[in-house]
Amino acid sequence: DQQVKQNSPSLSVQEGRISILNCDYTNSMFDYFLWYKKYPAEGPTFLISISSIKDKNEDGRFTVFLNKSAKHLSLHIVPSQPGDSAVYFCAASSSGAGSYQLTFGKGTKLSVIP
């Protein structure tokens, strides 16, 4: 049973517009959420994170929103740039789990069209 779901396998956005990537989770024990970006043949790169005590975290062009009641988070990229084209993974962890293992979604491939 998938505990972290990214229901859109792909997304295409025009350069300069906003990209919105969505993620849903089912495990109410998750209290920390992260977004990773992955280019082909490279490992995932940490992008931005949010603790469950917050509902928004912003870092430059990237903003993550968390809606705990809906068990939903989203990543906003604005303005989108061609270099943002990559696969984005949503991940979650539980401080109560001890090992801080990350549970990942299957990823959304973002294509930013020049």
Partner 1 sequence: GAGVSQSPSNKVTEKGKDVELRCDPISGHTALYWYRQSLGQGLEFLIYFQGNSAPDKSGLPSDRFSAERTGGSVSTLTIQRTQQEDSAVYLCASSLVMGSPEQFFGPGTRLTVL
- Which residue in the set 29, 67, 101, 113 belongs to the binding site for partner 1 (CB under 8 A)? 101
Q: How far is the CB of 79 from partner 1 (least distance, A)?
A: 25
Does 86 bind partner 1 (CB under 8 A)? Our answer is no
- Which residue in the set 7, 12, 26, 95 belongs to the binding site for partner 1 (CB under 8 A)? 95
Closest CA to 103 of 9, 25, 7, 48: 25
Which lies closer to partner 1 via its Cβ, residue 8 or residue 101?
101
DSSP string, 23-56: EEE--TT--EEEEEEE-TTS--EEEEEEETT-SE
Q: Which of residues 7-66 bind partner 1 (CB under 8 A)?
A: 32, 34, 36, 41-46, 49
What single letter denotes the amino acid at residue 38?
A: K
Rg (CA), the chain: 14
SS3 state of residue 65? strand
Can you give the binding site for partner 1, defined by CB under 8 A? Answer: 4, 6, 32, 34, 36, 41-46, 49, 89, 91, 93, 95, 98-107
